Amino acid sequence: MRAGATDARRAAVLGSPIAHSLSPVLHRAAYEELKLTDWSYDRFEIDEAALPGFFAELGPQWAGLSLTMPLKRAVIPLLDEISETAASVEAVNTVVFTEDGRRVGDNTDIPGMVAALRERGIEQVDSAAVLGAGATASSALAALARICTGEVVAYVRSEARAAEMRQWGERLDIEVRTADWADADRALRAPLVIATTPAGTTDALAAAVPERPATLFDVLYDPWPTPLAARWSMYGGAVVSGLDLLVHQAVLQVEQMTGRVPAPLEAMRKAGERALAAR
């Protein structure tokens, strides 16, 4: 948006909890590689109640914000515009402040998922399975709407969650069938499995990994590998990690906030890997 800017600029990640966020590591690595020596990127512990006050105090030096839970929907009323991608899942993870002072929201998680899969050679699948039904699962459905030509089966724990996933399918124009979490081991035979659940939830499924698994996209990154991802790799399946997603969505954020294209993917990935190894 402000290509070639040399004045001191600020960006940050907001959320609660936020201490664990790798976003500062990734964005600062990009600034270093791009020689944006006057740019800074911080983290702020902000919940929904504090968000409007934080926005009210932002000055003209601010270029953009990354948003994590629980702010991805709470931020929408504070913005002047959101992209079609963000509107499709009612979630904003990126805010860019334009030169004329407008606040524009986007969602880079969805194209980040697609980019992470494409990096592993996954351009299109004829069916897929999603484990879980939270906010990340809706983003997964939005990504699958771009690359999946057939049915997606979502494995969930309650009928209420099942209904939500079917509604998202209708909204995103993708065929979604729901199944009980008790049968989640069946998901592992799909051409693409996207695990969107919290740490520990899929551990018991590791014993059910088939002998010739296809592709697993596990959105977790710390601790890594998860038992499911470790068994998947051991059996020769392709694994896409949460760090892959984090890096690809951050690349898009850096490009939008700085106007520099392309952002330094590999430098950002290596910085993330070093930070995780140090934990």
Q: Is the dihedral of CA 263, 265, 266, 272 positive or negative?
A: positive
Distance between CA atoms of residues 165 and 141, nearest Å? 9
Q: Token pair of 102, please?
A: 């407008």
Q: Token pair of 24, please?
A: 């500062």
Q: Token pair of 1, please?
A: 């948006």
Q: Where are the alpha helices (DSSP H) in 156-263?
A: 159-172, 227-234, 242-258
- φ/ψ of 105, rounded to 5, equals -105, 145
Helices (H) and strands (E) in the chain, counts: 9, 12
From 10, 27, 43, 72, active-site residue: 72
72 is catalytic: yes
CB atoms within 10 A of CB 124: 12
What is the set of active-site residues?
72
